[in-house]
Amino acid sequence: MLLDVQDLRVERVADGAPALAGVSFRVVKGRILGLVGEHGAGKSLTASAILGLLRPAARVVGGRALFEGQDLLRMSDADLTRLRGARIGFVVQSGHATLDPSTRVGAQLIRAMSIHRPIVKAEAAWRAETIMSSMGIPEPRQRMREWPHELTPSTVQRVVVALALINEPQLLIADEPTAGLNITTQMQILDLLHLELRRRRIGGVIITRDLGVVAQYCDDVAVMFAGQVVEQGPVAQVFARPAHPFTRTLIAIMPDRLATGGGRAYGGPLPESGGGCPYRPRCDQAAERCATAPPLVGAGVHAARCHFARIGAA
Amino acid sequence: MTARAMRLLRGLQDRGLGVAFGLLVLAGFAAALMMRPVVWPQGLAFEDAQRLLAFPSLRQPMGTDANGRDVLARVIDGARYAFMVPLAALVVGIGLGAPVGLAAGLRGGSLDLLLRRLLQGVGLVPPMLLAMALVSAMGPSLWHVVVAIGLLQAVGFARAMRDHVRAMHDSGFIEGAAAIGSPVLRTVMMHLLPNTLARIAGEIPRQAAWALGTLAAMGFVGIATATSGTEWGSMIREGTEYLLAGQWWAALFPGLALLLFGAALHTLAASLDERLLLRGPPGSGNSAGGRG
Amino acid sequence: MTVVGELRRVSVSLGPGERRVAALTRIDMQVEEGRVLGVVGESGAGKSSLARSFLRLVAPEDGAVLFEGSDITATPERRLRRLRSRMTMVFRDATTVLDPRLTARALIEEPLRLHTGMGSGERRAAVDALAERLRLRPAELERRPGELGIDRLQLVNVGRAIVTQPRLLVLDEPTRDLDTAAAADLLNLLAELRTGGMAIVMTGHDIAAVQPVADRIAVLYLGEIVEEGATADILRDALHPYTQALLSAHLAADLTRRGRRIRLRGEPPTPEDRTPGCGFAPRCPIAENRCRSGAPTPNQVGTDRRVACLRVLEGTSRIPLTR
Amino acid sequence: MERPGRFLLRLLGLAAFLILVLMVLSFLLLKLGAAPSVVLLGGPNPLPEEQARLVADYGLDRPVVVQFIRYLIRVVSFDFGRSWLTAEPVLTELLSRVPATLELMLYGLLAGALIGVPVGVAAAFARGGAEDRAARGAAILGEAMPPFLLCLVLLLVLFRWLDLSPAPTGRLSVVLTPPPVVTGSVFVDAVLMQDGIAARSALGHLILPVLSLALLVGASLTLLVRSAVLAQLQTAHLAYARAQGMSREMLTGIVLWGATPAILSGLTAQTATLIGTTALVEFVFAWGGVGQYGLDAMAKADFAGVQGFILLSGLFALLVHGFHGLLRRLVGLRIRRA
């Protein structure tokens, strides 16, 4: 077990409202977990909480996040700083804004290495060039001399992946690594990320709103809804026999499966809380008992948080 | 619970206190100005030959000036200029600047470029100096002071207006209105203008403060001699000589009034800015939660 | 079937003076009543220009734009304005086109104020009825754009576009920023509108984004149509190499498709990078020398398909999928 | 990035246009003048023949456009006309006063930056805290403070009450003979002449004007630096830098380096218009610089003097902006080579 998040709870500092209401999932070494959910479900917040980057907008109020047995949530800031970027790599959403606009690309790569260990400049430059060319960036030496704003979106994203991998982490968290990219570019970047994670046997978390990314690139999936993980399991099992109604809907309405004209609404705003199952207002199965908090059904690799879940049944 | 209450209180302070302070000070000056003839009926021009440069006392809380006139009465009366001149100048400034900026922002292209360069050229000279030079060239009437200050403000308003209109144009705001068949003039009046004015709201008290400072500087230097009655800058000018000799009240009290009035306007501006900042750009949506 | 919107050999150029570049080149396209046309292309392909062309929001440099059979290419804006209740648009960026000071209700109501003589009570009732159809809650109608999430905001945009019951509705990447569920709801709504007889043009950067409702799909590359045909035909047997690449890049729910991809070199070009010959040749896995000199024109293939590729006629344009 | 030649050409073209605008502006000032223009050119009391000759000479009977072109030619050949008050050439009078003003501005800016930059940075890092509130309150007070009032208050306290500084009599005590002009800075010239008494007096006379200017500059610089740093604190790349495990020191470095361009721009804008504030400070302290000359000219309706002063302050601003443009480019190049 590389990362074991148990019942992570986070609240917003401004009004004390709960933002994460018990998030649990596991990442196994060498496997890729897809953390999927809608806008505002708490996916990015989960990543920030694990990396200790919540402040000042939110704070952790409960749970554990065991990384190789150590609880990240109770670690001192100094220890966490040593982990970040070294043993846990991070690929962030908005590629372009991620790079420091006033530092050359090569210097940023070298700086990323220098954070965690003493470096020899020439050797670091050579390593930066090597990793850039292994990311499929043509003319890496030329690119290293350029400013971030001179790069194409695809190259930017490749550099961001390179930055995350350069210190050879054990775990890599990628938060919507292809948001806003063109579809052919998206494929290039995801292929690259997938390949590198496999090759280096790194445990990966890919955060996304697109179940297609999960279907095509992930081994396991955790589905989030309203600050909770409502279903987790191996991709093949979850896609074959989704246990939570939200997961079922998500799969059924993927664009290549969607049959229009059914007259059913899938989306809609979240309820004003009030206990019970948060998916209740949107659920076509909702019954009286859904007003109470749903149990975690199933154990081991495939589990769902629903009163009606049947794990393993066809 | 208490922590949450504290946070709430602090939030209120951040937003409300600035506005409250600013408005309270301005209201205080306005009330004093209107009530003075009743409550403090000292003649503005009355000279007490027995009491030249008298130290502040119960009878004359701010003392008397070199001509034996009551400083308190004159300081209160000076608020007249502090209200009138910036307000009238704002009318000139917005009246001239807003349409020009609007036209340039809407039209874009070479007209826009020319206007921007012209304003850039005019902007090279410190606006206060240019306003003073204009008054000295046109002659020292109060009307000229208003026009000169207003003209220079028009430069600023034209620029701000142009930038906001341009931003809205680029964001597709205007095209969106055109696509539902809204005539250009209607779009401008109903959508563009209200939004732009709302976004430069913080600029208005700041410009008023600038106008006040420039007016006072003209009075102090002796350019706007027509205002030399009870305008604070002129009063300070008259009192400077005695201040250096240690009889500070005739210059310092109008100075403090000037500072208080200016600080009130600046605080208002800062609070408005902060509120606009909180509200964010149009349609940015604040559902994303706290700001880092 | 009545043709509602039509482009005839339309070319559009954008940008000022010397930096003017061709955004669209000789586009032929039409949409009939009760039909949905999906236009697919990556950024810089000319989707937005094409969408705007249908409504004469851009003036074409060449060619003709027709609405309900009448030529509106040279119609002055003053006269077009009256048509704007019958041909409407949903813009790509949901957040910035709306007046942030108005409530959702006022925004949806605005076209009614402009184009109908309805009294305020009637307008109110019309907006309420539409809101129910859009599944906007009454409380949401009284909120301003800044207080609504992007999913809900897009419904306001759509509401504004359909409140006058237009004949032609053009949507520019309407589902781009939406969650899957909200996107599905929007597509369902479009299907409903189609049944009501509306002619719909929608763009997307991904074939999957338009396929659930589109009757026909046109694929755009560098301002030219490279393939156009019935949706089912294109999904079953894409002929142009670029269409095939787009289809393979789509991340489907189907686990058996893992890793089977057509990988394109480089990135989607911008009009400034246009090279002579076939625009797609620099990235095409099966390009030949002749593709770099002679530009292919859209050729009729079969009865109902147009493809702009030199290899199509020989039947050698299909690319094998690689792992 | 464009090539250096093109860049310089563009800069010069822009400068030429802006100078033209300035000239139109100062020409209009002259035309606005309440007194007949001839008076400005011929000194206080020209004879009737002299006046007629001047009218013909300067073509005042010609159309305005022709007059403007003649004015342009005059200014370009460094003829700013003669002062109405002293009948001396305006340009000579102005240039002789430049060193005094530059000296005051330089020290004021340096001292102001020493106040404003650290306070602004500290306020931004302590956003919302007590330090931030205090700094912001003080800065707003400074912004609202009329320059001459600050000078008078400082004079009252430090000169009249505490007797720590000399009387506001310019750059040197009135009883001393100024050292011969070498650099134009009385203090430096006195040191060069090894005149200890004059040097001490000059230094003493510098303190209050510089302090006044520094407080005013520092106040607005505080707000500027604060918002520039705050903007950097909210960037996505800083959040990413934290996720990379950078130490606090490295993060601070990134923030400051990132805020530098915005601070430099603000500083430039401030320096370009600093002559206005400086003029008022000079006026109070009888500093004898360009600013005091300009204000005197305005108060006494010496339009030739006003015109020259306005033109000169515009040109100064243009120089400052041009220097900033070059600096940005050079800094950019330096980073590229590093």
From residue A132, alpha-carbon distances to A104, A107, A114, A174, D219 in Å are 14, 13, 17, 18, 47
Query: What does the pLDDT look like over A266-295, one tens digit per residue?
Result: 887 665 656 788 888 888 888 888 888 898
Hey, which CATH number is domain B15-40+68-277, 1.10.10.10, 3.40.50.2020, 1.10.3720.10, 3.40.50.300?
1.10.3720.10
Q: Which chain B residues in 47-106 lie under 8 Å from chain D, judged by CB atoms?
A: none
Segment D167-173 shows an average pLDDT of: 85
What is d(CA A209, CA A36) in angstroms, rounded to the nearest whole number? Answer: 5
CB count in 10 Å sphere of residue A55 = 13
pLDDT at D334 over 50: no
- Considering only alpha carbons, which residue of chain B is nearest residue A57? B290
Closest C-alpha to C200, from C65, C96, C54, C80: C54
Helices C120-134, C104-115: crossing angle, 10 deg rounding: 130
Q: How far is B175 from chain C (nearest CA, A)?
A: 8
Going by pLDDT thresholds of 50, 70 and 90, the confidence category of residue D63 is: confident
Q: Which chain C residues in 262-291 lie under 8 Å from chain A, judged by CB atoms?
A: 263-264, 267-268
Tokens for A94? 């908005």
Q: How far is C115 from chain B (nearest CA, A)?
A: 8
Chain pair A-C, CB pairs under 8 angstroms: 135
| The pLDDT value given to residue B10 | 55
| The pLDDT value given to residue A73 | 94
Segment A136-162 shows an average pLDDT of: 91
Tell whether A212 is within 8 A of chain C (Cβ): yes
pLDDT at B12 over 60: no
pLDDT at A265 over 90: no
Nearest to D240 among A82, A92, A104 (CB): A92
| The pLDDT value given to residue D37 | 47
pLDDT at D335 over 50: no
Q: Is C256 helix (H, G, I), strand (E, B) or coil?
A: helix
Contact partners for chain D, using 3 or more CB pairs closer than 8 A, are A, B
**A87-101, A108-122, A255-269, C83-97: lowest mean pLDDT where?**
A255-269
What is d(CA D23, CA D311) in angstroms, rounded to the nearest whole number? Answer: 7
Query: What does the pLDDT look like over B211-238, one tens digit per residue?
Result: 999 999 999 998 876 555 788 999 999 8
Q: Which residues of B touch C111 (CB under 8 A)?
A: 180-181
- Considering only alpha carbons, which residue of chain D is nearest residue A94? D236
pLDDT at B284 over 50: no
- Residues of A near D (Cβ–Cβ under 8 Å) read 51, 53, 81-86, 90, 92-94, 97-104, 107, 111-112, 115-116, 145, 163
Going by pLDDT thresholds of 50, 70 and 90, the confidence category of residue B282 is: very low
| The pLDDT value given to residue B58 | 77
Query: What does the pLDDT look like over C200-234, one tens digit per residue?
Result: 999 999 999 999 999 999 999 999 999 999 999 99
A220-225/A32-37 β-pairing = parallel
Contact partners for chain C, using 3 or more CB pairs closer than 8 A, are A, B
Highest mean pLDDT among B172-176, B257-261, C288-292: B257-261
| The pLDDT value given to residue D280 | 96
Q: Which chain D residues in 81-140 lie under 8 Å from chain A, judged by CB atoms?
A: none
Q: Do B252 and D21 touch (CB under 8 A)?
A: no
Going by pLDDT thresholds of 50, 70 and 90, the confidence category of residue D253 is: very high
| Low-confidence stretches of chain C (pLDDT beneath 70) | 322-323
Closest C-alpha to C38, from D143, A260, A141: A260
Chains C and D touch (3+ CB pairs under 8 A): no
| The pLDDT value given to residue D56 | 67
Q: Residue A305: enclosing H or E segment and its boundaries?
A: strand A303-305
- Considering only alpha carbons, which residue of chain D is nearest residue B125? D314
Contact partners for chain A, using 3 or more CB pairs closer than 8 A, are B, C, D
Tokens for D244? 């990379």
- Residues pairing with C8 in the sheet: C64
Q: How far is CA B75 from the centre of its chain?
A: 19
Q: Which chain B residues in 160-199 lie under 8 Å from chain C, judged by CB atoms?
A: 171-173, 175-183, 191, 194-195, 198
Q: What domains can you pick out in chain C, each with its CATH number?
A: 3-86+166-314 (3.40.50.300), 99-165 (no CATH)
Segment A50-71 shows an average pLDDT of: 91
Q: Which residue of B7, B8, B9, B10 is the best one to mutate when testing the A interface, meaning the one whose CB has the most A CBs within 10 A? A: B7
Query: What does the pLDDT look like over A122-134, one tens digit per residue?
Result: 999 999 999 999 9
Helices D90-125, D303-337: crossing angle, 10 deg rounding: 50
Going by pLDDT thresholds of 50, 70 and 90, the confidence category of residue A61 is: very high
Q: Which residue of A12, A15, A55 is the best one to mutate when testing the B interface, meaning the one whose CB has the most B CBs within 10 A? A: A15
Nearest to C152 among A211, A239, A269 (CB): A269
More confident residue, B79 or A14: B79
Segment B113-138 shows an average pLDDT of: 90
Q: Do C146 and B286 touch (CB under 8 A)?
A: yes
Please state, rounded to an integer, the average pLDDT across all residues of chain D.
85
Torsion of CA C95, C96, C102, C106, to 10 degrees: -70
Helices C150-162, C104-115: crossing angle, 10 deg rounding: 10
pLDDT at B278 over 60: no
pLDDT at B187 over 80: yes
Q: A117: which residues sit within 8 A by CB, 6+ positions away? A: none
Q: Which residue of D37, D237, D298 is the best one to mutate when testing the B interface, meaning the one whose CB has the most B CBs within 10 A? A: D298
Nearest to A92 among D236, D261, D338 (CB): D236
More confident residue, D40 or A204: A204
Q: Which residues of B touch D25 (CB under 8 A)?
A: 121-122, 125, 130
Tokens for D49? 């023949």
| The pLDDT value given to residue C55 | 96
Q: Which chain A residues in 221-240 lie under 8 Å from chain C, judged by CB atoms?
A: 235-236, 239
Reported as half-sphere exposure (CB side, CA atoms, 13 A), residue B88 has a value of 15
Chain pair A-B, CB pairs under 8 angstroms: 18
Q: Which residues of C touch B180 (CB under 8 A)?
A: 84-85, 88, 110-111, 114, 160-161
Q: What is the residue extent of each domain of chain B?
A: 15-40+68-277
Nearest to B283 among C77, C83, C145 (CB): C145
Q: Do C111 and B181 touch (CB under 8 A)?
A: yes
Q: Which chain A residues in 49-108 lie under 8 Å from chain C, judged by CB atoms?
A: none
From residue A3, alpha-carbon distances to A9, A133, A204, A215, B212 in Å are 16, 30, 10, 21, 64
Chains B and D touch (3+ CB pairs under 8 A): yes
| The pLDDT value given to residue B31 | 93
Nearest to B195 among C83, C101, C114 (CB): C101
Closest C-alpha to C278, from C305, C310, C247: C310
Numbers of helices and strands, H then E, in chain C: 11, 12
Chains A and B touch (3+ CB pairs under 8 A): yes
Q: Which chain C residues in 138-157 lie under 8 Å from chain A, judged by CB atoms?
A: 140, 149-152
E strands in A17-107 = 18-27, 32-37, 58-67, 70-71, 88-91
Q: How far is A232 from chain D (nearest CA, A)?
A: 26
Nearest to C268 among A182, A236, A253 (CB): A182
Q: How far is CA A289 from the centre of its chain?
A: 32
More confident residue, D13 or A194: A194
Segment B73-100 shows an average pLDDT of: 93
Q: Which residues of C touch B173 (CB under 8 A)?
A: 96-99
| The pLDDT value given to residue B15 | 57
| The pLDDT value given to residue A271 | 59
Segment B23-46 shows an average pLDDT of: 84
pLDDT at B27 over 80: yes
Q: Do A182 and C205 touch (CB under 8 A)?
A: yes
| The pLDDT value given to residue B225 | 65
Q: Do A191 and C43 touch (CB under 8 A)?
A: no
pLDDT at D125 over 80: yes
| The pLDDT value given to residue D336 | 38
Going by pLDDT thresholds of 50, 70 and 90, the confidence category of residue A82 is: very high
| The pLDDT value given to residue B230 | 85
